[in-house]
Amino acid sequence: MLGEEIKKLVEEYYEDTIKHRRHLHQYPELSFQEKRTSDYIANQLASLGISFERKADTGIIAILKGTNASLHAPKVIALRADMDALPIQEMNDVAYKSRNSGVMHACGHDVHTASLLSVVRILQRLKDEFSGTIKFIFQPAEEKIPGGAKKMIEEGVLEDPSPKYVLGQHTMPELQVGKVGFHSGNYMASSDELYITVKGKGGHGAMPHLNIDPVTIACQLISSLQQVISRMAKPQVSSALSFGKLIADGAANVIPDEVKIEGTFRTTDEDWRQRAHEKIERLVYSTIEGFGASCEFELRKGYPVLFNDNVLTKEMKAHAASFLGRENVVELDTWMAAEDFAYYSKERPSCFYRLGTGNKEKGINSALHTPTFDVDEKSLKVSIGLMTYLTLKKLKENDRD
């Protein structure tokens, strides 16, 4: 059976996958700086005799064609892995700890890349099983707006050949190792960034009547903007507006001339997203000008809502249950984090699912984007095997279309 054959090959390449993952973890690189990572991927593909080309500076696309001539109407499926790291100082005491100070794979992109390299090897071994084409996308800069996916698409990653479907996976430490999760429809939020400079008139803290205090104005603005979520958005629409940076560089008795504010706006509804942008902008200017101050305002539009195609996701979930057991496949809630995989999902029917990487008994339960994030490496068996299985099942189904 196909599933058992894949599982045997997973065992054969498991130790190599761990080596890939640990090497990548030791040498993390920030968005669009993944030169060493890109070269490592290229060398691995070249050793397998897999043709590839570079896109978006550090990105790589590889192509593998099935050789089963008895099957007809071959289709193209794309598999995507991101490969950039985060500006975080790792605190784990492990042999494969990051050697690049202040940079860490704290979001599991090392897992995604190492897994896809092994998926390439297994599918190459099984190329007599299918007649379609598989496009492997090793993508840079998922962590930084405007996102590597956008640039890859602009440079033709979804053309020549054009994939009919795109699959991707992401680590999930809240989900125990051995399990995977799916969510149909709008799964992950859009992500926009707000940059506001409130410009007032500074002076002595003992004489506030002579000043235009940007600190109190900034506090009022942050409080007022929450009404965009609590009073302007439909309760049924998921939205979040958070401010994580406020710089008022005065002193205990000095009111500064200006205050800088940075925040993020997220939602799972694209129509509301556009209306919310207008409401936020109006409220920013009216509030600040109402206090006699002025401002600089930038709303930096980020990733769109990630939509998992309903039909494709239902199929992938059923195949996952067949491969892993129904008890190991869970239904996920909407996630307010953002992902530039959303750009692929706007262009092609896509499925972005989650890989359980946590293990409470081993103390592996730190959240994504934290300095103690790690994974139970047994999850690599699931990540390799499932993506291979889903790909071949979909190609075989398509051959019968």
Encode pLDDT of 288-313 as tens digits.
999 999 999 999 999 999 999 999 99
The predicted model scores a pTM of: 0.94
> How many structural domains does the chain have?
2
String of DSSP letters for 62-123: EEEE---TTS-S--EEEEEEE---BS------STT---STT-B--SSHHHHHHHHHHHHHHH
Q: Which of 300, 323, 343 is the last residue of a domain?
A: 300
Dmax over CA atoms of the chain, in Å, equals 86
The separation between CA 225 and the C-alpha centre of its own chain, rounded to angstroms, equals 27
- Which of the 8 DSSP states describes residue 364? B
Residues 244 and 116 in one domain: no
Residues 296 and 309 in one domain: no
**What pLDDT band is residue 400 in, cutting at 50, 70 and 90?**
very low
- Which of the 8 DSSP states describes residue 30? -
What is the per-residue pLDDT across 38-94, written as a single tens digit (0 to 9) for each? 999 999 999 999 999 999 999 999 999 999 866 666 799 999 999 999 999 999 999
Residues 104 and 251 in one domain: no
Residues 203 and 327 in one domain: no
One-letter amino acid for residue 311 of the chain:
V
Q: Which of 257, 276, 300 is the last residue of a domain?
A: 300
Residues 19 and 141 in one domain: yes
What is the per-residue pLDDT across 249-274, written as a single tens digit (0 to 9) for each? 999 999 999 999 999 999 999 999 99
Phi-psi region of 121 (alpha: psi -120 to 50; beta: other; left: phi over 0): alpha
> Which of 19-23, 64-68, 190-194, 277-281 bottoms out in mean pLDDT, i.e. has the lowest?
64-68
Residues 137 and 232 in one domain: no
Residues 199 and 344 in one domain: no
**3-state DSSP: the chain helix, strand, coil percent, rounded to 5?**
40, 25, 35
Q: Residue 73 sits in which domain range?
A: 2-188+305-399
Task: Give CA–CA dist 364/375, Å, rounded.
Answer: 6
Cis-peptide into 28, omega within 30 deg: no
Q: What are the C-alpha distances in Å from 39 to residues 52, 58, 83, 230, 309?
A: 12, 8, 12, 48, 33
* Catalytic residue of the set 29, 34, 82, 84: 84
Burial 272-310 (b: 16+ CB within 10 A, else e): bbeebbeebeebbeebbeeeebebeeebeebbbbbbbbe
Residue 305 contacts residue 189 (beta carbons within 8 Å): yes
The separation between CA 137 and the C-alpha centre of its own chain, rounded to angstroms, equals 14
Q: Can you give the CATH number for the domain in which 259 is found?
A: 3.30.70.360
Residues 170 and 200 in one domain: no
Summarize the confidence of residues 103-128 as an average pLDDT. Answer: 98
Residues 16 and 153 in one domain: yes
Residues 147 and 169 in one domain: yes
What tokens does 51 get? 């043709």
Q: Can you give the CATH number for the domain in which 390 is found?
A: 3.40.630.10
Residues 145 and 22 in one domain: yes
What was the pLDDT predicted at 396? 85
| Catalytic (active site) residue 84 | yes
What tokens does 100 get? 């690049």
What was the pLDDT predicted at 72? 63
From the list 135, 142, 141, the residue with the least C-alpha distance to 159 is 135
* Catalytic residue of the set 142, 213, 340, 374: 142
Q: Which of 300, 328, 349 is the last residue of a domain?
A: 300
What is the per-residue pLDDT across 138-164, written as a single tens digit (0 to 9) for each? 999 999 999 999 999 999 999 999 999
Residues 52 and 129 in one domain: yes
